[in-house]
Chains A and B, each alone.
Chain A
């Protein structure tokens, strides 16, 4: 066998930091989260209500300008329990990650789930728990609590 030790090492990646923009409606949506409100986009043409908000309707392809507040409690559409972290280390406390959906709303959010384990079930009712310090990010929601 030939020696295949790397002759040339190149460790730097192309881009060190990306600046992403949330879009005009996405920005208003994040501002809402900063205030502790979860909203959805609503299409005037076909009535589609969806998250995350975009300036177009994924269903009918027309322009979308409106956000509506979601007042009803979301529910747990599916969940998983994480036992090891990103690097494969065993977690001292397993983490629950859920697919959070709102009735009558297209789309959903992936987020952390906490609360009494006996209530952990698909279909369980949830409520968002916001951080006290918020910056307009999806992580302003600390987790969704089982209720």
Chain B
């Protein structure tokens, strides 16, 4: 397949690092950024002085409670004295950061880029971090109703359940799988051995969403080192190549979308597949980390990515295909449901997990099959952007 984007330099990931994901970290946003950045540099075998450019990402300033927080945490992200770009596309940010870093390397502008995502949601203490989304609504038609983000997810989930004949039990299986996977993740906040019944019996928050359908509020940071081909060859025998990137927008009006199917993701995935030369994603993707802030979103996103037939992700999940020892392991990290959801850091954690999986460095989380090609994905803006990264060994 012909590539749809002109690429001057091939881009590889050569190091990754994470902080613990926790509800209330003592470390400042700068310090969280530094912990992840330092670990990624250590794995890459580089020092900060070797880095040409820094690309970072973080969700609303209103979480950490510091306006221009990208500038505020930039020192911990290693950006002082270097070209620095902070990107922000809502929940999609974590996978958009390596996309923006990719531009820097693929264009030939920078050869060694430090890629950092940070989020400290617990600073937004009163009334709660969810209140940060108070003003994301259309001020004329929606705001007067005082909507909550969970309402929208609930409407989407219900529509998906209705159109695809998916049961709450099917959806709960995702939460059970991801939380169990997270038990093997040393950075995870919400690993647990739970049952479908536990999910169904957990508190009903907004029908049909129960408490255990949702990922937790978290603090944390994640980082990568992304380099040009010549540096990748110099630094490691096992670089992981970024072979495809995709990011596209759907309408800002969630009312105007067919909620049962994520078109925002279908388009982004097609962009990435085309670039990576992937024609049959179900056969060619070995391991995937789709965005799972809610359990139904993993199913929804698998379908949007073309990794499951339309309305077919629930059946795949029931049959165990998405387990770590299955044909298409999904969220082997534990996902946002199990590892935690410090927005931007959670998305980048998924890219880090694919990096470790393809290198065979995922320890107890290593998938059974020999994974050569992997995919990470996030979702954000006004619930309208899909961000996709495809990597290959």
**Residues on A close to B: CB < 8 A?**
7-8, 10, 12-24, 26-27, 54-56, 58, 60-63
Contact = CB atoms under 8 A, between A and B. Distances in A.
A58 B125 contact: no
Contact of B139 (A8, A16, A54): A8
Interface in B100-146: 122-127, 131-135, 139-140, 143-144
B126 A55 contact: no
B132 A54 contact: no
Contacts of A23: 26-28, 30-31
Given A58-B80, A61-B38, A19 B122 contact: yes
Contacts of A54: 28, 30-31, 34, 76
Given A8-B139, A8-B143, A54-B30, A14 B38 contact: no
B316 to A, nearest CB: 39
Nearest to B30: A54
A41 to B, nearest CB: 12
Contact of A27 (B26, B35, B62): B26
Nearest to B60: A14
Contacts of A12: 134
A21 B139 contact: no
Interface residues of B, number: 34
Contact of B123 (A16, A20, A26): A20
A55 B124 contact: no
B7 interface: no
A60 B47 CA distance: 9
Given A10-B135, A56-B34, A61-B38, A17 B80 contact: no
B3 interface: no
B48 interface: yes
A10 B125 contact: no
A15 B131 contact: yes
Contacts of A20: 28, 65, 123
B180 to A, nearest CB: 31
A61 B126 contact: no
B204 to A, nearest CB: 26
A101 to B, nearest CB: 19
B34 A15 contact: no
Contacts of B124: 14-15, 18
A56 B76 contact: yes
A18 B123 CA distance: 5
28 contacts: A12-B134, A13-B134, A14-B131, A15-B62, A15-B125, A15-B127, A15-B131, A15-B132, A16-B127, A17-B125, A17-B126, A19-B122, A19-B123, A20-B28, A20-B65, A21-B26, A21-B27, A23-B27, A24-B31, A27-B26, A54-B31, A55-B27, A56-B38, A56-B76, A58-B75, A58-B80, A61-B48, A63-B38
A20 B124 CA distance: 9
A22 B28 contact: yes
A56 to B, nearest CB: 4
A21 B28 contact: yes
B28 A18 contact: no
A21 B29 CA distance: 9
A23 B26 CA distance: 5
A137 B289 CA distance: 43
Contacts of A13: 134
- A7, A21, A22, A23 — most chain B CB neighbours (10 Å): A21
Nearest to B28: A23
